[in-house]
Amino acid sequence: MSVFAVICEYNPFHNGHKYLIEQVKKDGDTVIAVMSGSFTQRGDVAVSDKFSRAETALRNGADLVIELPAVFAYSNAETFARGGVEIANSLNVVDKLCFGAEDADINLLKLAGEAFEDKRFKKELKKYMDSGEYYPRAVKKTLEEVYSPALASVVEKPNNILAVEYIKALSGTGIEPVAVKRIGAAHDSTEVEDNITSASNIREMIKSGKNFSPFVPNYTINNPADIKRLERIILYKLRTMSKEEIKKLPDVSEGLENRIYDAARSSKSLDELFEAIKTKRYTMARIRRIAVSALLNIKSEDSKTSAKYIRVLAFNEKGAHLLSQIKEKGSLPLITNVADGYNSLNDDAKKMFDIDILATDTFNMALSEIKACGEDFTKGVIKLW
């Protein structure tokens, strides 16, 4: 039997996620979920808290849930994948990394990953970027020129993009990539196929009070979060930052700090802020991530560092057996009790963990019913037998 890792957000956990785990566990294998915490890779708050999402994952096939540190979770696809793979590899028990993809041809995905390391690719990509093209379109055009339209079509699909980044990050780890063909509605689609629809569509259902139960396993979300509740805090944060401080945020380059600085002073809402900053070169997700990074005091240097610890959110009996192996074989500090584990970390690790703690405390202000600070210290690891 193998140990599979899945890098995920589960925002929220839906039937498509359950299907992927079921495909992995056909032969009785074990699944470790490396899951984002309080905010997401698209620059938004998670729809529900990380503890609830971890428990839901455990009840639907995952055996162990580990938090992906905020400095990786709220970053671009490359950093998100690198951080998740670093965590998985540090456990020294993982055999395979499983992910959903629109194209489950692992050889095609590997070829796309190899293309990114090609000197010709890098040279042509730089030319497009220097001309003002935004990154996803520049990548597609470069692949078309240097390789083929067929390979370029791979990176047009969002799950494929992450799959390629996972494969790149896995190089040299000994962990085998396993692609499972995505079923049901496309990423961010409002379509419904059988009992599966996209996570973004489910989030819209939750916000509008519609019944989303057919598309998720048996659970409810009673206290959903909404980033609009943090609107004034984000605007305040950006308005109190200098251009030099904004420049130090992840993904800020080529004078973007000037647009952000001016937009923060003239905008009266998040939507207005994002529209004022957006250009054809900068995607909306990138701009939202920059705003979240400002809110959580994440600097560019923070997202470039390596993983410092393994923070456990939830486990079952099989997960407990795995934890005993990880404690013996793992290459990073294992934290199951935050109060004790935090104090044992070195200064660099504490700095990374402080951002996770701030993310939880800030997330709790985005809930319809605000929670107090310190939940990372008061909420114990979830155990289900």
pLDDT digits (tens, 9 = 90+) for 194-250: 788 989 999 999 988 999 999 999 898 988 999 999 999 999 999 999 999 999 999
**What sign does the CA torsion over 20, 51, 382, 69 have?**
positive
What's the CA gap between 13 and 34, in Å, rounded? Answer: 13
Q: Tell me the pLDDT band of 298, cut-offs 50, 70 and 90.
A: very high
Q: Both tokens of residue 144? A: 């078309």
Q: Which is nearest to 85 in space by CA: 192, 18, 167?
A: 167
Residue count of the chain: 385
Rounded mean pLDDT of 140-157? Answer: 88
Is the pLDDT at 359 greater than 90? The verdict is yes
Summarize pLDDT for 63-76 with one digit per residue, the tens.
999 999 999 999 99
Six-digit token string for 7: 């890098």
- What confidence tier does 151 reach under pLDDT thresholds 50, 70, 90? confident
Q: What is the pLDDT of residue 159?
A: 87
Residue 193 above 80 pLDDT?
no
97-126 mean pLDDT? 89
- Position 74 scores a pLDDT of 93
The alpha carbon of residue 213 and the mean position of all alpha carbons in its chain are separated, in whole angstroms, by 24
pLDDT at 190 over 90: no
Mean pLDDT of the chain: 93
Burial profile 114-144: b = 16 or more Cβ within 10 angstroms, e = fewer: ebbeeeebeebbeebbeeebebeebbbbbbe
> Can you tell me the distance from the alpha carbon of 310 to that of 321, in angstroms, rounded to the nearest whole number?
16
> Is the per-residue pLDDT at 187 higher than 60?
no
Q: In which band, very low, low, confident or very high, does the pLDDT at 60 lie, cut at 50, 70 and 90?
A: very high
Give the model's confidence band at 191: pLDDT under 50 very low, under 70 low, under 90 confident, else very high.
confident
Q: Where are the domains of the chain?
A: 3-102+177-225+306-384, 108-156, 227-302
352-376 burial code (b ≥16 CB/10 A, e <16): bbebbbbbbbbbbebbeeeeeeebb
Mapping DSSP onto H, E and C, the string for 93-105 reads CCCEEEEEECCCC
Calculate the alpha carbon distances from 278 to 59, 225, 259, 295 in Å: 40, 25, 9, 19
Report pLDDT for 47.
96
Torsion of CA 279, 69, 54, 85, to 10 degrees: 90
- CA distances (Å), origin 77, targets 163, 217, 228, 265: 10, 27, 24, 29
Min mean pLDDT across 47-61, 207-221, 293-307, 322-336 is at: 207-221
Q: pTM (2 decimals)?
A: 0.94
Ramachandran class of 241: left when φ > 0, alpha when ψ lies in -120 to 50, beta otherwise: beta
Q: What is the pLDDT of residue 183?
A: 72
Q: Give the bridge partners for 108, in sequence order.
A: none
d(Cα 214, Cα 254) in Å, to the nearest integer? 46
Q: What confidence score (pLDDT) does residue 16 get?
A: 92
Average pLDDT over residues 255-283: 93
Q: Domain 3-102+177-225+306-384 belongs to what topology? A: Rossmann fold (3.40.50)
Give mean pLDDT, residues 184-189.
Answer: 57
Per residue in 281-293, pLDDT tens? Answer: 788 999 999 999 9
The pLDDT of residue 184: 58
The residue ranking higher by pLDDT, 131 or 299, is: 299
